[in-house]
Structure 1
Amino acid sequence: MRRHPFLYVLLTSSVIFAVGWQWGFQTLTSPFTSTGHGVITVTVLLWYWPFGSSYNLTGDVCWDRYGVPHCRLVDQRSLYPTADVVVFHNRELQERRQKLPHDLPRPRGQRWVWMSLESPEHNGDLGPYASAFNLTMSYRRDADIKIPYGELVSTEPGGEERGAEGAAVNKSNLVCWVVRNYRSRHRRSQVYRELNAVVPVRVYGRWKGEPLSSQALLPTISRCYFYMAFENSISRDYITEKLWRNAYQGGAVPVVLGPSLEDYRAVAPPNSFIHVDEFASIEDLGNHLKRLAGDKKSYAAYFAWKQNWKVKLYTDWRERLCRICSQYDTLPQHQVYTDLEAWVNG
Structure 2
Amino acid sequence: MRIERAFRCFTLCFFILFVAMLILMFVLGSEEPGTLNAKDDEIAQESFSKYESDSSMEPNIGDPIILWWTDGSDQPDEDRICGDVRCFITGNRSYMNNPLTKVFMFYGTTFTYEDLPLPRKPHHEWALLHDESPTNNFLFSFEEVMTLFNHTSTFKRESDYPLVTQFLKSSEWLTSTKHLLDVQEKNRFAEKLKLSPVMFTNSDCSTGSDRDGFVQLLMQHIPVDSYGLCLHNKDLPPNLRDPLENMLHEDFFRLVAKYKFAIAIENALCDDYVTEKFWRPLHVGTIPIVLGSPKIKDLLPSNRSAIIVDDYESVEDIANYIKYLHSHDEEYEKYFEWKKSGISNQYLLKLLKQRDWEFDYYTDDYTGMNFFEGFECFVCKRVHENLKRFKTGQEELKFHARLEHYGCPPPVKVDDKGQRTLESDIFMDMFTKQKYIAKALRYHIDRNLPVDGEQIEKIADEMIEHLRRNKKLI
Same fold flag (TM > 0.5): yes
User: Which residues in structure 2 correspond to 1:34-49 (within 5 Å)?
Assistant: 44-49=66-71
User: Which residues in structure 2 correspond to 1:56-95 (within 5 Å)?
Assistant: 57=76, 74-77=90-93, 81=98, 82=100, 85-94=103-112
Q: Distance in 1 between matches of 2:175 and 2:268?
A: 34
* 1:254 Cα deviation after fit: 0.4
Compared with structure 1, are the counterparts of its residues 185 and 267 closer, same or farther at alpha carbon in structure 2 (3 Å cutoff)? closer
Compared with structure 1, are the counterparts of its residues 220 and 79 closer, same or farther at alpha carbon in structure 2 (3 Å cutoff)? farther
Alignment match, 2:222 = 199
Give, as a single letter, the amino acid of the residue that structure 2 aligns with 1:294: S
Compared with structure 1, are the counterparts of its residues 194 and 46 closer, same or farther at alpha carbon in structure 2 (3 Å cutoff)? same
* 1:300 Cα deviation after fit: 2.6
Alignment match, 1:166 = 181
Q: Distance in 1 between matches of 2:266 and 2:279?
A: 12
Identity of counterpart residues, as a percentage?
Answer: 22
Q: Distance in 2 between matches of 1:289 and 1:116?
A: 35
Q: Distance in 2 between matches of 1:112 and 1:243?
A: 32
Give, as a single letter, the amino acid of the residue that structure 2 aligns with 1:249: H
Q: Distance in 1 between matches of 2:399 and 2:332?
A: 48
Answer 1 or 2: which has greater strand percent: 1
User: Which residues in structure 2 correspond to 1:134-283 (within 5 Å)?
Assistant: 134-148=150-164, 149-151=166-168, 153-155=170-172, 161-162=176-177, 166-168=181-183, 169-170=185-186, 171-172=189-190, 173=195, 174-183=197-206, 187-207=210-230, 208=232, 210=235, 212-213=241-242, 214=246, 215=249, 216-245=251-280, 247-260=281-294, 263-270=295-302, 271-283=304-316
Q: Distance in 2 between matches of 1:232 and 1:92?
A: 18
Alignment match, 1:123 = 137
* 1:241 Cα deviation after fit: 1.9
* 1:164 Cα deviation after fit: 10
Residue 289 of structure 2 aligns to a residue whose secondary structure is strand
Compared with structure 1, are the counterparts of its residues 69 and 43 closer, same or farther at alpha carbon in structure 2 (3 Å cutoff)? farther
Q: Distance in 2 between matches of 1:91 and 1:284?
A: 37
Alignment match, 2:9 = none
Alignment match, 2:127 = 113
Is 1:299 the equivalent of 2:317?
Answer: no
Q: Distance in 1 between matches of 2:157 and 2:405?
A: 16
Q: Distance in 2 between matches of 1:94 and 1:341?
A: 21
Show structure 2 runs of 5+ residues with no match: 1-61, 344-348, 353-357, 384-395, 410-474
* 1:185 Cα deviation after fit: 8.9
* 1:134 Cα deviation after fit: 0.4
* 1:95 Cα deviation after fit: 7.6
Give, as a single letter, the amino acid of the residue that structure 2 aligns with 1:252: T
Alignment match, 2:407 = 344
Residue 325 of structure 2 aligns to a residue whose secondary structure is helix
Q: Distance in 2 between matches of 1:233 and 1:185?
A: 5
User: CA offsets per residue over residues 82-117 of structure 1, 9 Å max, x none?
Assistant: 455432012222385xx22225756x4x63212223
Q: Distance in 1 between matches of 2:215 and 2:319?
A: 11
Compared with structure 1, are the counterparts of its residues 195 and 131 closer, same or farther at alpha carbon in structure 2 (3 Å cutoff)? closer
Give, as a single letter, the amino acid of the residue that structure 2 aligns with 1:336: H
* 1:132 Cα deviation after fit: 3.1
Compared with structure 1, are the counterparts of its residues 224 and 62 closer, same or farther at alpha carbon in structure 2 (3 Å cutoff)? farther
User: CA offsets per residue over residues 218-268 of structure 1, 9 Å max, x none?
Assistant: 2321221100001122232222221123x22343210001232xx111122
Compared with structure 1, are the counterparts of its residues 283 and 132 closer, same or farther at alpha carbon in structure 2 (3 Å cutoff)? closer
Q: Distance in 2 between matches of 1:88 and 1:139?
A: 15
Q: Distance in 1 between matches of 2:339 and 2:84?
A: 30
Compared with structure 1, are the counterparts of its residues 178 and 130 closer, same or farther at alpha carbon in structure 2 (3 Å cutoff)? closer
Residue 144 of structure 1 aligns to a residue whose secondary structure is coil
Show structure 1 runs of 5+ residues with no match: 1-35
Residue number among 55, 72, 75 corresponding to 2:74 in the alignment: 55
Compared with structure 1, are the counterparts of its residues 290 and 130 closer, same or farther at alpha carbon in structure 2 (3 Å cutoff)? closer
Residue number among 371, 374, 377 corresponding to 1:320 in the alignment: 371
Compared with structure 1, are the counterparts of its residues 303 and 84 closer, same or farther at alpha carbon in structure 2 (3 Å cutoff)? farther
Compared with structure 1, are the counterparts of its residues 113 and 43 closer, same or farther at alpha carbon in structure 2 (3 Å cutoff)? same
Q: Distance in 1 between matches of 2:81 and 2:222?
A: 47
Scaled by the length of structure 1, the TM-score of the pair is 0.67
Residue 146 of structure 1 aligns to a residue whose secondary structure is coil
Residue 224 of structure 1 aligns to a residue whose secondary structure is coil
Compared with structure 1, are the counterparts of its residues 286 and 93 closer, same or farther at alpha carbon in structure 2 (3 Å cutoff)? same
Q: Distance in 2 between matches of 1:299 and 1:233?
A: 29
Compared with structure 1, are the counterparts of its residues 155 and 218 closer, same or farther at alpha carbon in structure 2 (3 Å cutoff)? closer
Q: Distance in 1 between matches of 2:86 and 2:337?
A: 37
C-alpha RMSD of matched pairs (Å): 4.2
